[in-house]
Chains A and B, each alone.
Chain A
Amino acid sequence: MKNIHSLWLLPVAAIVSPVYAADYLTVEQAQKAIFADAQSFEARPAKLTSDQQDKIKSLSGLRQRWDTQQIWRAVKNGKTLGWFVVDEVIGKHEFITYAVGLSPDGHVLGVEIMTYRETYGGGVRNAIWRQHLVGKTLADPFKLDEDVPNISGGTLSSRNVMDGVKRVLAIQKVLNLVE
């Protein structure tokens, strides 16, 4: 995540440390939550070229903020169960760290919120809300109050997590991780 955080300008880092933080899941816990049957996870971090970043934006309509994406291959009996991607999006005050599980054919298998630090909008952690993202493909609209409900008081967080999932699907396609 180093290069993710380096996106922030931190001229007054000493005084701006967040006074609150909630880490709900580690990478391992999130992997198990989405791919319960996986026997192992192979780290496959991807270094994205500027051309790939442009394609991601073209497919998802969203800017790819960093050039390294944390990706794991979920494996069972030597076969690919799917892809596990850790990503971050902007929340109301801080980044939201979340994980997306993708099927080999480009469907969302699950979304887990790993770190979240907001007053309202905690609803993105709500399993029922996250369930609306399961099954989505790049062909879906990804519109709040259309195919994904809005979270009152957490509209920016729900919008950015929803958009982030769409961007992760675009990353999968650009990296040819779709079978």
Chain B
Amino acid sequence: MKTSHRYVVVALLGLGFYANVASADENLFGYIKGVEVMPKGTYELDEQITYRGDKGVGTYHAWDNKTELEYGVTDKFEAAVYVKAQAINTKNIVVDAYIPGNETYGPKLSGVGAEFKYMFLSPAKDDFGLAGYLDLGYSWLDPHSGLDKDIYSVEAKLLAQKYFMEGQLVWAGNLGIESTYARRAPLSADRQASLPVDYDWPNHNEMEVELSAGTGLSYRFAPNWSIGGEALYEAEYETVVGQERWSVFAGPNIHYGGEKFWVTLTAFHQLKGYGHPGSAQLDDSLQLIERTKDEVRLKVGFDF
């Protein structure tokens, strides 16, 4: 935990540093994306910290950081680049082919990527908002085991948003598909020796497809402040077993939107799920192989 705490302090100090920088693509939700884009010629710096914890057994704490710079190319098209980092602390969990024992480290750079969003319809102007979203990513660390893994991903989403009560109540919905090509690095001889003889650690090329559907509602209950809830269904598919894993997360969020910055905090809890192959250690009624029971996400955006 020490390294994780240090990581949070560093990240929060980083946020403080940027606090003087001067919101359009304001995130009302932690996991669900809105339709609106940055106005032409404007920038936004987003800092996102996600805590993932509790696999029901052993110790599992993971921290993901994403620092993103968004730019309004036109009044309908937004482009962004991002850098990811992660920290992990896992002990006494061994899942065949997924988590080969203990791993602990502080924040390490873990990936880079680019995002693009095109707003077809504006929720404020056209009554119903619609946008297309594309994320191209490359990571070199596995977010689950914490070990080396090259991951190339392409994610496309259809984003919808609707204002009610002149904008006091906001609904958003997302549908997405992500294609991933990945390859793990071999385990070290020492780590291999510490594992059961039949422990399997495939390091061939993997292809996966993930489908997702999410929805959220946000209500502005006081000037600048909104509360809401969001839910996300994710399902992973691969060639041998078909649907490999699925999960449903849901939870509350709170949002502050100001002149210089906005902040959103979401607590996400896994309600139901399944992970294949099963594990003697993990609860089969949840997707705990590549997910945890709980997540907390903090997002802050600075516009300038």
**Assembled-state Cα–Cα distance A159/B260 (Å):** 22
Q: Report the minimum CB–CB distance from B303 to chain A (whole Å).
A: 6
Contact pattern, B 238-259, Cβ under 8 Å of A = 1, otherwise 0:
0000000000000000000111
Residue A136 lies at the interface, judged by CB distance under 8 Å to chain B: no
Residue A89 lies at the interface, judged by CB distance under 8 Å to chain B: yes
Shortest Cβ-Cβ A-B pairs, 10 listed = A153-B39, A155-B124, A156-B124, A94-B223, A152-B39, A152-B75, A20-B259, A16-B222, A90-B166, A153-B24
Contact pattern, B 173-204, Cβ under 8 Å of A = 1, otherwise 0:
00000000000000000000000000000000
Which residues from A are CB-within-8-Å of B40? 152
Residue B104 lies at the interface, judged by CB distance under 8 Å to chain A: no
**SS class, residues of chain A in contact with chain B:** loop
Query: Of the candidates A119, A120, A145, A160, which one forms a contact with B167 in the assembled complex, judged by CB atoms under 8 Å apart?
Result: A160
Contact pattern, B 6-44, Cβ under 8 Å of A = 1, otherwise 0:
000000000000000011101000000000101110100
User: How many chain A residues touch the partner (CB < 8 A)?
Assistant: 32
Query: Of the candidates B22, B38, B39, B224, which one forms a contact with A18 in the assembled complex, judged by CB atoms under 8 Å apart?
Result: B224
Query: Which B residue's beta carbon lies closest to that of A159?
Result: B124
Residue B168 lies at the interface, judged by CB distance under 8 Å to chain A: yes
The listed residue with most A CB atoms (<10 A of its CB), out of B39, B42, B168, is B39
Query: Which B residue's beta carbon lies closest to that of A65?
Result: B166
Instruction: Indicate if the CB atoms of B42 and A156 lie closer than 8 Å.
Output: no
Q: Please list 23 pairs of residues, one from A and one from B, whose beta carbons are closer than 8 Å in the complex, sorted by A's number.
A: A8-B223, A9-B221, A16-B222, A18-B223, A19-B224, A63-B165, A63-B166, A90-B165, A92-B23, A93-B258, A119-B22, A119-B258, A119-B259, A145-B125, A150-B122, A152-B40, A153-B38, A153-B42, A153-B75, A155-B36, A156-B124, A156-B163, A160-B166
Range for the number of chain B residues in contact with chain A: 20 to 34
Which residues from B are CB-within-8-Å of A73? none
Query: Which A residue's beta carbon lies closest to that of B170?
Result: A156
The listed residue with most B CB atoms (<10 A of its CB), out of A117, A155, A156, is A155
**Assembled-state Cα–Cα distance A119/B259 (Å):** 5
Which residues from B are CB-within-8-Å of A155? 36, 122, 124-125
Query: Which B residue's beta carbon lies closest to that of A90?
Result: B166
Which residues from A are CB-within-8-Å of B38? 153
**Assembled-state Cα–Cα distance A89/B124 (Å):** 14
Q: Given known contacts A18-B223, A18-B224, A90-B167, is B259 in contact with A144 (CB within 8 Å)?
A: no
Instruction: Indicate if the CB atoms of A119 and B303 lie closer than 8 Å.
Output: yes
Q: Report the minimum CB–CB distance from B70 to chain A (whole Å).
A: 13
Q: Given known contacts A120-B39, A120-B42, A153-B42, is B122 in contact with A16 (CB within 8 Å)?
A: no
Which residues from B are CB-within-8-Å of A18? 223-224, 258
**Which residues 83-129 of A sit at the B interface, judged by CB distance below 8 A?**
89-90, 92-95, 117-120
